[in-house]
Every structure is written in C-alpha cells, then in structure tokens.
Chain A
Amino acid sequence: MSDFIVGIVVFPGSNCDRDMVWALEGCLGIKTKFIWHESSDITGVDSIVLPGGFSFGDYLRCGAVARFSPLINSLNDFVKTGRRVIGICNGFQILTESGFLPGVLTTNKNLDFICNDTELEIITSKGNWFNSSNNKLKLPIAHGEGRYFCDEDTFKELSDNDLIALRYLNNPNGSSYDIAGVINKKGNVLGLMPHPERACDSSLGGNDGLFTLKSLLEFS
C-alpha cells in the first residue's frame, strides 16, 4: 500500500489542505500530493480529497465557482473507475454544486458560524467509510453554510438507496432530516460537513476521523 497516493485538491481559498496532509501522512503514513485545481491531470492518484476552506471566496454560492475548475471536470471519469473521492465541508459543497451528490448546502439556520464538536449517527455501511462496529461518531464541524437542504423526493431517493452517510444527533445548523453527509449510489464518493482530518489524534480531542480517512485506501 506504500505506493498509494491521495491527491489533495487545492483551490484558491482552500484552508484545510495542509491539515489533511498532517492527518494522512503524519497520523496514517499515507502518501499525499497537492493538485492545483487548474490541473486536469490526475493520473497516478489513487483517491482524491476536496478539502475544506472557502474556494473562490465562497462567491455566489459555496462551491459554485470551484465546480468549473478543470480538475472537477476530470473527476467524472475518475469516479467512474471506482476510485474514491471525499469532499469535506467546502469540498462537500463543491460535490453538491457539481452534481456528484444530491442536495445543496446553504446558510445555517441560526446564522452562526458553528465551530464545535458534534455527535453523529452512522447511517449507511455502504462504501465502508465508517467503522460499522460503532453507531456513533464525534467529529468537529466549522461552518457558516452547512445546512444541508433537499426536498422530500430527494430524501426518499437518499433513504431508499441507503445514501445517507451521517446524521447529526442535535442538528446544530438546521439541516433537512438532520443530514450531515451523503454518498453517491456507487458508494465511492462521500461528502460531509464534519472534519475527520481534525479528529485524528486523541491528544487533540479525538480520533474518530481516522477510520474514514483510512478508508480512502479502499476501492469501490
């Protein structure tokens, strides 16, 4: 597994890209490589992280401009091969804006920027992104626009296909149906608002994020 390389996409305004290197390389010994968003060359990369931050200043809507980056255009073929993509926070917003995942992320119900640990329930085992021996996780969130919104039909589709990854226990931001993360039908694309890369060392408050990042090594 030592040749496995996780590509971390860097947009103007990304700010969790280096945290992700620390988590993957420092805590898990997984090789990483930064990929500038204007590159569409993702050969030699085995899975991809769209990190958190404020790509393009969150102008217009979070993720709305980033979705037109050449790298996002080439992501479709990458996903079809079964290789894995995780979008965290702003990365999740980019995945919904670009249509890889359903729904949208918008302003928190209480208008607060919420920076806190949050308790989450693991809903799906599809894709094996979470430790199925646990039902719950504690991961930090840090967002002002993390309220997941979807209509009833989309929710039904998500439920019927077992695509809801995580739900908040206390729904801090007003998300539809308490949804904190979703996956695609194939199970190889995960988007979530909580930050697993900030929960990879117990001395920093918890290590519930390790399993999810380690699962980037799998193939769907």
Chain B
Amino acid sequence: MNQFEAKVSIRLRPSVLDPAGEAIKSAASKLGVEGINSLRIGKLIEVNLEAKEEKEAKEKIELLCDRLFANKVIEDFDYDLKDVNE
C-alpha cells in the first residue's frame, strides 16, 4: 500500500450567500484593512490515506468529497493529491 496526502478545499458556490464571510469582511474593515471586495469562508480538510496507486487514492477522495465532505447543492470542492512515499 502507498501513502497519499490530500488537501481538500470546500467552497460555497458563488450563488450562495455567505453571511459568515460578510461578518469577517466587516471585521477586516474595522481592523483598518481597506479595499477588500469580497471575502468568503470555506473549509480545508487534510486526509492521509492508503491506496494501491494514485488512481485508487483519487477515487477514494472523490467519493468522500461527493458524498460526505461537500453538499453539492451549495458547495464546490477541489483537491490536491500527493504521493508521500519515501
């Protein structure tokens, strides 16, 4: 078995309002940082997994993203997959 590391990003779809992002945006301007046009909050999930090969690791991550990590009604996902075998 080979070791893989995946970094999965989950983002709210552009059409979905992000009230938490809006709140942080307003805090950013209170901090004195001007010029922020948009600020949206997502999630980063780091997964360390075993698989025979990269194709299998990819299948596992895609299943996780599709069925568990993201709700595709409101969220998009993408990921980076790295072979971490020494």
Contact = CB atoms under 8 A, between A and B. Distances in A.
Contacts of A61: 71
A111 B74 contact: no
Contacts of B74: 104, 106, 149
Interface residues of A, number: 19
Interface string B25-38: 00000000000000
A174 interface: yes
B19 A111 contact: yes
B15 interface: yes
A149 B20 contact: no
B19 A149 contact: no
A107 interface: yes
Main secondary structure on A side of the interface with B: loop
A150 interface: yes
A110 B23 CA distance: 9
A60 interface: yes
A157 to B, nearest CB: 13
B52 to A, nearest CB: 25
B79 to A, nearest CB: 16
A174 B16 CA distance: 11
Interface of B: 15-20, 23, 43, 68-69, 71, 73-74
Given A64-B68, A174-B19, 11 more contacts: A60-B43, A60-B68, A61-B71, A103-B73, A106-B74, A107-B19, A109-B17, A110-B19, A111-B19, A111-B23, A149-B74
Interface of A: 60-61, 64, 68, 96-97, 103-104, 106-111, 149-151, 154, 174
